[in-house]
Structure 1
């Protein structure tokens, strides 16, 4: 066995008090295949390195020399290179070459922006007083997939092996290890101290769940919201946000259950009433949906997107005038909500009020220049008012914002056709047909253009 290596003085070792599960993270191997970490049932040592980082390479050499010790202890090393990721100017090919030359016996691959974002969020939520992430950086993940220790710098294999039991001890012992203090923790014998620590853990779990939700890592968000609720069963926001995760997946039955749980905890929770209404509407439970949405507005008349949701509900029921009143109210209470203005403009079009549609649709595209639907609706309004040049410009902007947005491709193709630009019309209609190859209307329009061009 090689000589044991003492950890360098610059090492920062950060034991976790709260044990958060690390989301399943996909990475690319040096051969270009896809793989995932962590793997439940074994320890994972996730190491970040770069080909230009001398301490990183020295650490990888030690992992190589002590690989059998790590394997015997049930530790799987996964070393991900940062070369060329984000702002790093390194060459990914150089990292691959370096790994080949070193002959590393464990899994090696490339990090990604998503992996760095998740690790940064874990770092922020669990170690708010620490500085930025640096390399070499290693994360010890336990057999349950929970982050146990963060190492900034090279800890040495002996330190890693001695830390494998950290996540198995009671929280008060983990707290002592994290604080680096001797003595007896007050948490073990004082309920008020334990309660304060519980509240901190709940907050950390909830905030990390929010991070995962905002990053659309839905499986990770679901786990963290559920673990938050296991610690704090009366946490209405966690129940509501768990519902959002289910709704995003289209699991509206589960979402409804979560929203109702939130409302059982806080009956006057306006946002939960609105979310419940949206999921009920998705399940075609129109009467219940309207009741929930109206209750949300009774509790909070300026609740963002609640008026818009009721407008969509009434529009779906064919009650266009009522829908227009709700959309108008939404634009008044939520003047930065681009989609609310788009819906107001669209309902004007549905009521054959093309002139009235212009102002809200212009406002919508000003707020969100990437809204292909709003630009397309604006083009329709201009076309109905016989303002054809402006209609064409709006359709072109719609295609710019959404190159695969079929309604805009069709409208722009027909605009070119009416303007005598047959080649351009053929191109846009062909693009639309490629996206919707079974559309009889697109086929007819394209056939008409090609006939005018003298083609079959």
Structure 2
């Protein structure tokens, strides 16, 4: 409770008292790691992590990922790689170990080595979410998700009810142009867990791409109502409302997305279009200027901005 309230000193005190009675009580040790991380006491967090790893007790395997993140924040990724490599003989069946090494390889700007580690993690456990998420981001940045189809299929064979993997498969199909297949994946994910916010955002965006705008609005409005901080759904809803000829509602949704921290060129471009359609030229100009600050290389947007400034 104290940890949730950010009362870190009290939380640490209570955990220390519990550990004085049961020194190897792993749940308390793992919670103490969270406290030390929240306090930015990286060395203390690593010391507690080593105690868990050496305890011989069962622990959450995400601990390996936490160790990697601590080393990343501490600025010692190479040291973290050496430490995790040393653990491999003892924990050869844990997919999280190569996944953690891959995280640190990325921190060391070694993308090829990181990708190899994430693939190695998936050979140990095809359904492991962390390495799949990292690989998805790598291939998304490359603009080619096709190499992920086979690992994703293997993951879903292992766990057909994984909502995250089902969503990723839908995104892969969508990138390949198989919109009907993507819809099937998103609907199946929604059946498994109707509350998962990413599913509604993905499904609504797909309907928008397919031109099924009323369905897109309904799904995305539901997503935003259930999770007001679902930025992806909010941005997609703004775009759909604009296409439906309701620019003021679109602008209000996009302004809220910006207020919540979603400041990207795409958001500001949609926002500029929405304010232009409303007739508020100064706000449209302001939005496009913000977009160009984030990505000065948008020549088409620069030309549109020039035309709007001449109109003002």
Structure whose alpha-carbon radius of gyration is higher: 1
How many angstroms apart in 2 are the aligned matches of 1:388 and 1:321? 29
Find out whether 1:118 has 2:42 as its counterpart: yes
Task: Trace 1:225-374 onto structure 2 (pairs within 5 A).
Answer: 225-243=84-102, 245-246=104-105, 253-259=112-118, 261-262=120-121, 266=124, 269-271=126-128, 274=132, 278=136, 281=139, 288-366=147-225, 368-374=227-233
| Conserved 8 A contact 1:358-1:381 | yes
Task: Trace 1:119-198 onto structure 2 (pairs within 5 A).
Answer: 119-125=43-49
2:254 aligned partner = 395
How many angstroms apart in 2 are the aligned matches of 1:199 and 1:403? 42
3-state SS of paired residue (1:402): coil
How many angstroms apart in 1 are the aligned matches of 2:259 and 2:228? 10
2:279 aligned partner = 420
**Following TM superposition, by how much is the alpha carbon of 1:384 offset from its aligned partner in structure 2, in angstroms?**
2.0
2:236 aligned partner = 377
Question: CA 1:321–1:426 in structure 2 vs 1: closer, same or farther (change >3 Å)?
Answer: same
Q: 1:408 aligns with which of 264, 267, 270?
A: 267
Let me know the Cα RMSD of the aligned residues: 3.8
Higher relative strand content: 1
How many angstroms apart in 2 are the aligned matches of 1:308 and 1:249? 29
Higher relative helix content: 2
**Following TM superposition, by how much is the alpha carbon of 1:357 offset from its aligned partner in structure 2, in angstroms?**
1.2
How many angstroms apart in 2 are the aligned matches of 1:223 and 1:443? 48
Stretches of structure 1 that go unaligned for 5 or more consecutive residues are: 1-111, 129-197
1:438 aligned partner = 297
**Matched pairs, number:** 272
How many angstroms apart in 1 are the aligned matches of 2:236 and 2:135? 27
How many angstroms apart in 2 are the aligned matches of 1:248 and 1:327? 32
Q: TM-score, with normalisation over the residues of structure 2?
A: 0.70
1:211 aligned partner = 66
1:34 aligned partner = none
Higher RCO (CA < 8 A, seq sep 6+): 1
**Following TM superposition, by how much is the alpha carbon of 1:351 offset from its aligned partner in structure 2, in angstroms?**
0.5
Question: CA 1:330–1:244 in structure 2 vs 1: closer, same or farther (change >3 Å)?
Answer: farther
**Following TM superposition, by how much is the alpha carbon of 1:120 offset from its aligned partner in structure 2, in angstroms?**
4.3
Q: TM-score, with normalisation over the residues of structure 1?
A: 0.50
3-state SS of paired residue (1:325): helix
Question: CA 1:393–1:287 in structure 2 vs 1: closer, same or farther (change >3 Å)?
Answer: closer
Question: CA 1:119–1:381 in structure 2 vs 1: closer, same or farther (change >3 Å)?
Answer: same
Moved more, 438-447 or 271-280: 271-280
